[in-house]
Amino acid sequence: MEWRHVEGAFSQWTGDAILFYAWQEEDTLPAGPARWMDQEAPWLKESPALKDFRAKKAEILLFYGPAGARIPRVMLVGLGKRKDWSLEVFRHATAMAVRRCRDLSVERVLFPVTALDGLSETEEVLVREAMMAARLGLYRYDELKTRDVEKSDCPKEFIVCSEGPLPFVPELFREVDAVCGGIRLARDLATAPANVVTPTRMAQEAARIASAYGMAFEVFDLDKAKELGMGGFVAVAQGSREPARFIIVEHCPQGVEDQAPVVLVGKGITFDTGGISIKPAAKMEDMKHDMAGAAAVLGTLEAVGRLNIPRRVVGLMPCTENMPDGQAYKPGDVIKTHAGLTVEVISTDAEGRMILCDALSYAVSRYRPAFMVDLATLTGACVIALGDRVAGLLGNHEALLTMIQNTGKPLGELFWPLPLYDFYFEDMKSDVADFKNVGDRKAGTIIGAMFLKQFVPDTVPWAHVDIAGTVWADKDLGWIPKGASGFGVRTLVHLVREYRGSL
Ligand code: BES
Ligand code: MN
Ligand code: ZN
């Protein structure tokens, strides 16, 4: 779907369908749409169908014009009650409308800014959210299908139309393309199965992005990781026949070489069987998405590169499978990590923290980050605590956590803080090593973060985002179709873009 902008009088707007919004429990249409209808579709205002339309959230009423009408379809999209309005409602309604257009094989959708009259956000924000919702809501993954592929590539054009100039539009088109490109990549990678998205494939994608946007690319194999003392990463990787890859991509545009970088770390377990502490068979297939943290980092880099954001950003993605095998690490093993700390492995299924701890301490020692964010599908406990629409947010720096939460909220990415009190660490005491890789069953998400915290000095602002719940939509959520969400990309891109060098 391409973007286009048409500026001119109503009579100059042409397309196959036009979208307008309506409120529940309000008898009269908002002024903008009413004005358009008076002029362009007087037949519509007389229609009894209008009286029956409730305008509940994402409810859609489709009108067909008389033969020869300039715009044959008018789609009225419900926004629910005015008092319940939020950008999320707006995104959801817009995504559903554009998807309806796809079902109808509508090629050119008109999106009039006139439809936004009376909504309590700027036109720029609303057009951005509508475009994001439209593009993301149309997402589907059919790369591996050979039969029954839904072919409709409609709508082909999303036409923003206005009577006067919209100076923000060209830049907005570029921005939405870049961010959606990043989210699409993250979704594709998390959706693709583990026999397709291997650590090797992750490295190929990273190399592609690096070369497309002039970023530095490095990849460590298992031998190199051993040499660097990444004992946690090596322990997890040694049980897999699929070669592990520790991937580093650095975006460093000219002139910012001296900047302390923003460091992003993503968990890249391309398949998590649990290892010797093996998982039950039911739903194990879901564990193909255990690399979604790394995918979100790659997606972010894709967008950061396309937008050429003038800020130094480093992405680290430790990628490996977690398999049971003759060579696999075992419960009871004591592992020496890159930081030098020793860990007693109680569960090989707590593998995410084993690879992330090395990535975090390596990043700290090599890059001196301005701040560091890791994203990981780390704990099932996070899904229990927060469900699948809110990510867990933990870390050592209040202002950073607040910044992440506030950045995400209007973008439709929700984060909620959990505490990291020192006493949680007591559950991780080990008799043989510095600490264990799990606690007892309590506070699983916090224990995971508490583990990671051991590897980040207090002087480095750090946030850990547990995306175990948000990574996947079990049901259609509108702008997030059922499946991989690409969660994190949008917030991270904005975070990088808006960061001004201090927290
Ligand atoms: N990848 C899983 C966590 C997960 C579970 C993500 C469900 C998404 C959906 C992680 O590696 C894991 O197995 N965590 C264990 C930790 C436990 C052993 C302390 C868990 O949550 O059970
Ligand atoms: Mn696991
Ligand atoms: Zn895992």
Q: What is the pLDDT of residues 310-346, one digit of tens each?
A: 999 999 999 999 999 999 999 999 999 999 999 999 9
Could you tell me if 326 and 261 are in contact, meaning their C-beta atoms sit under 8 angstroms apart?
Answer: no
Report residue 198 as tokens: 């291997």
pLDDT, residue 30, reads 87
Same domain, 136 and 183: no
Which is it for strands 371-376 and 342-344: parallel, antiparallel or unpaired?
unpaired
Same domain, 462 and 339: yes
Top mutation candidate among 283, 347, 379 for ligand 1, by most atoms within 8 Å of CB: 379
Query: Does residue 414 fall inside a structural domain?
Result: yes
Query: Does residue 133 fall inside a structural domain?
Result: yes
Could you tell me if 369 and 263 are in contact, meaning their C-beta atoms sit under 8 angstroms apart?
Answer: yes
How many A from CA of 94 to the centre of ligand 1?
34
Q: Which residue in this structure is represented by tokens 């972010």? A: 300
pLDDT, residue 181, reads 98
Apex CA 170: angle with CA 169 and CA 173, to 5°? 85
Query: Does residue 228 fall inside a structural domain?
Result: yes
pLDDT, residue 191, reads 98
- One-letter amino acid for residue 315 of the chain: G
C-alpha atoms less than 13 angstroms from C-alpha of 395 in its C-beta half-sphere? 28
Same domain, 25 and 122: yes
Which domain CATH number covers 123?
A: 3.40.220.10
Same domain, 290 and 391: yes
Query: Does residue 18 fall inside a structural domain?
Result: yes
Kindly give, in sequence order, each residue whose CB lies less than 8 Å from that of residue 405, ignoring residues fewer than 6 positions away: 393, 415, 416, 417
pLDDT, residue 420, reads 98
Q: What is the pLDDT of residues 229-244, one digit of tens each?
A: 999 999 999 999 999 9
Which domain CATH number covers 273?
A: 3.40.630.10
pLDDT, residue 149, reads 85
Same domain, 318 and 268: yes
Same domain, 438 and 409: yes
Query: Does residue 362 fall inside a structural domain?
Result: yes
Mean pLDDT by 10 residues, the chain (503 residues): 97 96 90 92 88 94 92 96 96 98 97 93 97 98 90 93 97 98 98 98 98 98 98 98 99 96 99 98 98 99 98 99 98 98 98 99 98 98 98 98 98 98 98 97 97 98 98 97 98 97 91
pTM > 0.85: yes
Active site (annotated) includes residue 429: no
Active site (annotated) includes residue 500: no
Same domain, 182 and 321: yes
How many A from CA of 437 to the centre of ligand 1?
12
Same domain, 158 and 244: no
Same domain, 419 and 445: yes
Residues flanking ligand 1, CB < 6 Å? 272, 290, 347, 349-352, 377, 379-381, 383, 438, 444, 468
Domain extent for 303: 176-498
How many A from CA of 316 to the centre of ligand 2?
19
- One-letter amino acid for residue 31 of the chain: A
- Out of 226, 279, 336, 366, pick the active-site residue: 279
Query: Does residue 353 fall inside a structural domain?
Result: yes
DSSP single-letter state for residue 279 = P
pLDDT, residue 118, reads 86
pLDDT, residue 27, reads 84
pLDDT, residue 314, reads 98
Same domain, 89 and 198: no
DSSP single-letter state for residue 284 = G
For the chain, how many structural domains are there in total? 2
Same domain, 49 and 85: yes
Q: Of 132, 163, 194, which residue sits at a domain end?
A: 163
In what helix (H) or strand (E) does residue 414 lie, and over which residues does it extend? Answer: strand 414-417
Query: Does residue 429 fall inside a structural domain?
Result: yes
pLDDT, residue 28, reads 84
Q: Of 115, 134, 163, which residue sits at a domain end?
A: 163
Bridge partner list, 262: 313, 371
pLDDT, residue 151, reads 76
Report residue 142 as tokens: 């059919």
SS3 call for 288: helix
Same domain, 316 and 386: yes
Q: Of 114, 132, 163, which residue sits at a domain end?
A: 163
Query: Does residue 169 fall inside a structural domain?
Result: no
